Amino acid sequence: EETVEQPVVPPVEETPQAEETPQAVEPTASVAANLPTVAVTPTVAAVQPTATPTLSPQGAALAPSLNAPPALAQAPTPTAGPRPTPTASTPRVVANGGVGGAVGISLENFSPYLLQGSYQSSDGRRRENAQVALYGAGSGYNVGILTFEATDLPTSQITLVLTGIDDELETHSTIQVLLNGRTLYSGTSGFANRPATASSAPESGIAWDQMRLIVPQGTLQSGTNTLVIRNVSTGAEIAPPYILINNLEFASEAP
């Protein structure tokens, strides 16, 4: 018998299928709603309260305004120097005709460094012989302004005591003093002249003089007050004519 050979059929190779790329699955609204919420609490720095300053018993009636710069250590009690005999050129009489008398009860002393606009030495504020200068009109330093608060004012007569000294020139400077817009004094400075040989060193003694001006009733008010001291002498230089101010004091006559 004849054997018939069957043709060999080659195996069919399978074409590899491409792998499917997984699609990003968007979270459904329900899933997003179930996501945890993290609350962020801002950190707030603790703020320390500002201490309220305590006034001395002498300062119970008058205090510097909160808008004014902080006061330094008050000037020591000045040494009264020789005073010229009051004349027409060196009056100690205020505008209303009242004569400045002896000081009774001190209400408050103010450092001269509180006089805004006055000239202060470049060597810094002095604790001894505290002083600021008021130079002539045109110098840019002829006006000093003090703003302060007043409460519980006495009913007795109040006196403004200015401690200072005039320059070394024989002719006195012309000074103007106003309280709340009312003129307390306008005229020749009542301060003694500074000796021409006097030293300006902080440790040197200055024979300070005083002007006492009566404050008319109703001029000093409860609340904010403004005191203005002005050198109205002509002078555009940091040189005479000038006035040095060492201390400012409000006092009440003893009952």
pLDDT digits 0-9 by tens, 165-221: 999 999 999 999 999 999 999 999 999 999 887 655 444 567 899 999 999 999 999
Q: For residue 60, what pLDDT band results from cuts at 50, 70 and 90?
A: very low
Does any domain span residue 123?
Answer: yes
162 burial type by CB count under 10 A (0-12 exposed, 13-18 middle, 19+ buried):
buried
Q: Given a cut of 60, is residue 237 above it in pLDDT? A: yes
Cβ partners under 8 Å of residue 184, min gap 6: 94, 95, 160, 177, 178, 213, 214, 215, 216, 219
C-alpha pair distances (Å), 4 with each of 1, 7, 8 = 9, 9, 12
Is 69 inside any structural domain?
no
- Give the per-residue pLDDT at 5: 58
How crowded is the C-beta side of 166, counted as CA atoms within 13 Å?
22
Q: Is residue 74 part of a domain?
A: no
Share of the chain above pLDDT 70, in %: 53
Average pLDDT, the chain: 73
Q: Is 183 contained in some domain?
A: yes
Q: Is residue 139 part of a domain?
A: yes
Which residue from 235, 85, 92, 213 is spatially nearest to 169, judged by alpha carbons?
Answer: 235
- Which residues constitute the domain of residue 93? 87-252
Q: How far apart are CA 207 and CA 14, in angstroms?
A: 121
Q: Is the pLDDT of residue 90 over 90?
A: no
The pLDDT of residue 129: 80
Residue 204 in domain: yes
Per-residue model confidence as pLDDT tens digits over 134-146: 999 999 999 999 9
Q: Average pLDDT for residues 115-123, to the nearest whole number?
A: 89
- Tell me the pLDDT tens digit for each residue of 64-80: 654 544 333 333 333 33
26 in a structural domain: no
What pLDDT score does 146 carry? 98
Overall number of domains in the chain = 1
Could you tell me the pLDDT band of residue 23, with boundaries at 50, 70 and 90? low
Strand 223-231 and strand 132-135: pairing?
unpaired
CATH of residue 203's domain is 2.60.120.260
Ranges assigned E (strand) in 30-103:
62-64
Task: Tell me whether residue 17 is in a domain.
Answer: no
Number of Cβ within 10 Å of residue 95's Cβ equals 16
